Structure 1
Amino acid sequence: MAFSEFRPLDEKSLIDYIKAVPSLSSKLGNNLDGLKIKEVGDGNLNFVYIVVGPAGSLVIKQAIPYIRCIGESWPMTKERAYFEALALREHGRLCPEHVPQVYYFDRTMSLIGMRYLEPPHINLRKGLIAGIEYPLLAEHISEYMARTLYFTSLLYRSTTEHKCSVAEFCGNAELCKHTAQVVFSDPYKVSQYNHWTSPYLDRDAEAVREDNVLKIEVAEFGERAQALIHGDLHTSSVMVTCESTQVIDPEFAFYGPMGFDVGAFLGNLILAFFSQDGHADQVNDRKVCTDLIIASLSLFLCLLFSNSICFPLRYLMV
């Protein structure tokens, strides 16, 4: 490790850190003169630095022990970086075409050094808002899910391997707690965090809250440790070009139900579909965009369930 105890890095101390870590400095061609460093974190949880030099580039992501946008009054375990690095390496081993390579991980510093996804890679959500076409998206995401879900499940692994992996990712309990609250708890009860268009959807919200059968099904679904899932696979967790699709930010990773990642991604595509009317103008009525999103959604499901590794629909959906 470069430092013996945790300390948040800034642009100046980051250069010193990189100099002390050969596996990072080598990615910059061991030439640290004229480095350009830009902090691009979203401001909520982590610091993310893009580091570009004359002979190479990389990304540094550092978790801090609190929610960044709030401050130290809201603690958050920095161990989330460990599970993110673990998931990136495992998913990257299984699907290197669609997961950025991890160059280095420092558990003491809660720091990951990884491949920089250079422009024109952009966040998929921004691309869909801009109306950009991604003809290979469905093919790439279905391949990523089929490989990462199948090869980390009991369909492929031995019981011993599976149980050991499940046990390790149980350590990501704090972030799993947030997932449990936001996805498996709050939507089915009265909560200050729930929002809907009132009064038009009041009856629908009430119907969900009063559906005890649904709540039992949701609770059982959330407890299925079927595979190593990304855990937060929305369209902002995917970086894209027209030829490349890269899945990032699996800090919420845990062993959970296969359908969780599939449903999260599908739900985001559906939201993108319904949002297109709001982005329409006199120049672009967004009809082509809406047609492409529906086509991608349908193709994604078809490719996923007919994948060459024989990913079984029956096991996914039970």
Structure 2
Amino acid sequence: MGISKMDIVGRISYNCDILFRVIEIKEGKNGKVAILYGEDFRLVADAPYEDLVQIDQKERLKKSQQFRSLEEQSLQLFRQDLHLLQEKHEYESTGGYAKTYNYFQIPGKVLHLDGDPVYLNKCLALYERIGIPVTGVHCNEKEMPSKIGQLLDYYRPDILVITGHDAYTKSKGDINDLNAYRHSKHFGLTVREARRKISSLDQLVIFAGACQSHFESLIQAGANFASSPSRVNIHALDPVYIVAKISFTPFMERINVWDVLRNTLTGEKGLGGIETRGILRTGMPKNSGPDHTLS
């Protein structure tokens, strides 16, 4: 049986190191070519049809369990970080007194633009587990620059995530040539358009990029955090861990970049950024209502 659209495959020439979804199969000069999206990495790739092999359910489950284990480890580390943040903030908010003050917290609101609807849903599920107010919008990477202004006006987020799929292709140019990247140029244009609306790096915190994205151009465009300094693949959920740290850090505190990166699945090779102010605000008294805490 042949390989079809939406099948899960591996590339024989790469020893099936990454699982991909087949998004499209088209005729090329030398035969059929498949467009592939990474299952766990925000990577897009082209591959000859003959280089693909379908991955059976057993192997898929094995690789999936490995990633789920890493995701749970990152989530557990984040929970520990958040608990320490809350303890510190509670002590400072109450002046260290024994009396329990009845206060509430408002984490930063997120607008998450994603070029992949499957990844978007995975991220939204994690935002919900963590307790971050979020709006998710599926948008083709090429259409993001023209749509971001209207979306910012409508949703008015504190944090903007611009992500999807990307890839650097050596045969298309030097590592500094934006034309050698699948979507870095579109991500960069989207950041610039967002900064036309809100120029302050603290008023709107921006994460931009995907696998192998042109990190330097995204930071220069105005992103606070971006991928990928070493042009490596980033995990599908890495943007959420970065956003969560920012969202739950009090607005009077500045975030050390390493503190943001250390609990991601990719680390500093795939993610980087600049010193940024937190978003969380505290008020009192607290009335009965939803409590934004980890489940």
TM-score (structure 1 length as normaliser): 0.25
TM-score (structure 2 length as normaliser): 0.27
Higher strand residue share = 2
